[in-house]
Structure 1
Amino acid sequence: MIIDCHAHLVPPSLLDAVRAQAASFPSIKLMEDGGFSFAGGKPTRPVSKPLSDITARLKWMDEQKIERQVVGGWLDMFGYEVPAEEGARWSRLINAHLAQAAKSEPRFVPLASVPLQDGAAAAEVLREAHAAGFKGAMIGTQPKGKGGVLDDPSLKPFWEAANELGSVIFIHPVFESGDDRVHDYGMANAVGRITDTLIAMSRLIYAGHVVRYANAKIVAGIGGAALPYVIGRLRRNYLLDREKLGDPDAALAAMYYDTIVQDPRALRYLADIAGSDRIMMGSDMPFPIGDLTPMTVVKDAGFSASEAAAMNGGLAEKLFLK
C-alpha cells in the first residue's frame, strides 16, 4: 500500500461550521479574505482552495498512485493563542470534521488537533481523539503562540497521555518561525520552517522527552529539519553536560521522519544517520514548498526494493493503520 504520511486538509464542512458557530468562539475571528485571527493577533493566510478541494486532492493521489493519505489540519488555524477552554472546543470542532471527512472518504487517515496552550486539556482531547479512532495528533512547534516550547513543564500531562496511548505525534512548524529575518525572499518556507523545527526538536531531545516518552511515536517533519546534519554538534554539546541533557543519538534513533527534503542526497544522509527503517514518504500536500511527486526522491536515492517499499507505505501502515 502506498501511503503519503504528511498532508493537510481543511474539510469544507469545517469552514461552514466555523461560520455557523462563530458565537461559540469569541477569541477567534474569521476574516473576510478567509483567514483567521486568534485572540486579536496577526491574521493568518487565507484558507487556500487546495486545502479544501477534496476532488482535486483525490485526482492528484490517483496520478501519484497514492492509496492513502495521512492528513492533519492546517497549522495556521490551530489557535494555540486562545484561552484553554475555548481552545479545547476549537480542537474538538476541527477533529469532528476531520473524522467526518475520513468517514466520507476512507482514503484519508486523520491526525487530531489538540489545545497545546494547556497540557491537561490537550491530554483530554487526545484521549477523546483516540477513542474516536484517531491514531495520534499533528502538533505545532510553538504552543501558546510565538516563542512557546514543547518541553514546557505544563505540557507534561499531554506527553504522559501520548506515551500511555502510544500516540503518533507529528511535529510540524508553525506560521511564525520565531525569526523575523526569514520574512523576505520566500525564506519563511525555505529556511524558517527548518530552523523552527530544529529548535523545537532539539529542546525535546535535550529535555529527555523523546526517550522518556518512548511509547509515543514522535515524527520530526521535513526530514527531521537539520537534525541529521547537526548531530555532531548536538552530541558534542551533550557530552559537555551529559548529566543534565538528553542523548541526541538515542533520540534520533527513536524518532520517525518524512522524506520531504527535495534532494536524494539529503534523503540518503538522513537514512545513514537515522536508519532507512524510520523514514516515511510524504508530500506536505497541498503546499508548493512540499514534494508534489513524493515517490521520486525515494526512487532517485537508490534504496533497495525492500527499503523503498517500507518508505512508500510499509512503515506508515504500521504506524497509522494497525
Structure 2
Amino acid sequence: MIIDCHAHLVPPALLEAIRSQSANFPSVKPIEEGGSLGFCFAGNKPTRPVSKALSDLGARMQWLDANKIERQVVGGWLDMFGYEIPAEEGLRWSRLINRHLAEAAKEQPRFIPLATVPLQDGARAADALKEAHSQGFKGAMIGTQPKGKGGVLDDPSLLPFWEAANSLGSIVFIHPVFESGDDRVHDYGMANAVGRITDTLIAMSRLIYAGHVTRYANVRIVAGIGGAALPYVLGRLRRNYSLDKDKLDDPDAALAAMYYDTIVQDTRALRYLADVVGADRIMMGSDMPFPIGDSAPLKIVRETSFTDAERASVNGGLALKLFGL
C-alpha cells in the first residue's frame, strides 16, 4: 500500500459550518475573500484565505490516482488551529475541525485524519486528544508554537497533553506554523524555504533537550520536513549535551526514537537522513497541497539509493504499521 504520510485538508463542509456557526466563536473573525475564508484570531494578524486546493476533494482524488497513492494522512491547515483564542473557545474550535475531518474520512476512506487540539491549554488539549482517539483518530497534528508566536512545546502547562498522548500511544505530527518566529524570513519566499526549517528545528531541539521524546516513549513523534535540520546539526546537539548532561537529554536517543517524512527535495539529503536515523524511520510525504512540498513524492524515494526493502517501507510499509491500518 502506497501511503502519503503528510498532507493537509480543509473539508468544504467545515467552511460552511464556520460561516453558519460564527456566533459560537466570538474570538474568531472569518474574513470572506475570493469565495473562501481567512481568519483573524483574537485580533491578531489575519491568516491567508483557505486555498481552493485545500478543499477541492475531486482534484485531490485525481492527484492521488495520478501518483498511485492509495491512502493519505491529512491534518488540518496550521493557519486555522487558532492557538491564540481563549482556551474553552479553542476547545470548541478544535472539536469543530475534528468533527469535519472525521466526516471527510468517513465519506472518503482513503483519508487518514489527524486531529487538532487546543494547545493554548494543556488540560483541554488532553481532553481533545482523548475525544479524538475515541472517535477513531490515531493522533494529532500540532503546531510548533502553542499559545501563539514564541510559544514552546516543552511549556510545563502542556504536560497534561504529553501525558495523555503517552497513555494513548498517540501519533503526534509536529508541523511548523506560518509565523516562524523570525521576521527576517518574510522576504524572498524564505518563510517557506528557511523559516519552516528554523521553526521546526528550534521546537524539536527544545523537546529533545527537555527529555520529552524519551520520557514519553509511547508517543510516536513525527518530525516534519525530514526532521528539519536535526540530522545535519546532530553533532552540535551532541556536543552541547556533553557539556551539560545533568540538565539535558540525549539527542542521539531522541533522534533514534522519532519518525520523519521525505520532504527534503534532494536525494542526497534524504539518503543522509536515512544514514543518521535509519530508513525504517522515514515515511513518504507530500505536504499537499502546498507548492513548497513535493508534488511527485514517489520520485525522490525512487531516485534515492535505497534497497527495495527500504523503499517499500518508506513508501507505505512503515505508515501501515504506525497507523495500524
1:13 aligns to 2:16 (yes or no): no
**Corresponding residue number in structure 2 for 1:195:** 198
1:266 aligns to 2:269 (yes or no): yes
- The one-character-per-residue Cα deviations of 1:150-184 (angstroms, maximum 9, x if unpaired) are 00000000000000000000000001000000000
Structure 1 residue identity aligned to 2:230: L
In 2: Cα distance, 1:143 partner to 1:39 partner: 14
**Alpha-carbon distance, 1:302 to partner:** 1.7
3-state DSSP class of the match of 2:178? coil
Structure 2 residue identity aligned to 1:17: A
3-state DSSP class of the match of 1:35? strand
In 2: Cα distance, 1:110 partner to 1:144 partner: 23
3-state DSSP class of the match of 2:309? helix
Structure 1 residue identity aligned to 2:9: L
**Corresponding residue number in structure 2 for 1:31:** 31
**Alpha-carbon distance, 1:3 to partner:** 0.1
1:221 aligns to 2:224 (yes or no): yes
Q: Within 5 Å, which residues of 2 pair with 1:139-288?
A: 139-288=142-291
In 2: Cα distance, 1:287 partner to 1:321 partner: 27
In 1: Cα distance, 2:13 partner to 2:297 partner: 28
1:301 aligns to 2:268 (yes or no): no
Structure 1 residue identity aligned to 2:237: L
Structure 2 residue identity aligned to 1:151: D
In 2: Cα distance, 1:98 partner to 1:71 partner: 8
Structure 1 residue identity aligned to 2:123: A
Q: What is the TM-score of this pair, normalised by structure 1?
A: 1.00
In 1: Cα distance, 2:323 partner to 2:2 partner: 13
Which ranges of 4 or more aligned residues in structure 1 deviate by more than 6 Å?
Answer: none
Q: Within 5 Å, which residues of 2 pair with 1:26-105?
A: 26-33=26-33, 34-105=37-108
In 1: Cα distance, 2:268 partner to 2:160 partner: 39
3-state DSSP class of the match of 2:32? coil
In 1: Cα distance, 2:192 partner to 2:178 partner: 9
- The one-character-per-residue Cα deviations of 1:206-248 (angstroms, maximum 9, x if unpaired) are 0000000010000000000000000000000000001100100
**Alpha-carbon distance, 1:321 to partner:** 3.2
Structure 2 residue identity aligned to 1:57: R
- The one-character-per-residue Cα deviations of 1:110-165 (angstroms, maximum 9, x if unpaired) are 00000000000000000000000000000000000000000000000000000000
3-state DSSP class of the match of 2:221? strand
Structure 1 residue identity aligned to 2:145: Q
In 2: Cα distance, 1:295 partner to 1:111 partner: 22
Unpaired runs of 5+ residues, structure 1, are none
The share of aligned pairs that are identical, in percent, is 79
In 2: Cα distance, 1:187 partner to 1:109 partner: 30
Structure 2 residue identity aligned to 1:313: G
RMSD of Structure 2 on Structure 1 (CA): 0.5
**Alpha-carbon distance, 1:319 to partner:** 1.1
In 2: Cα distance, 1:40 partner to 1:165 partner: 35
Structure 2 residue identity aligned to 1:252: L
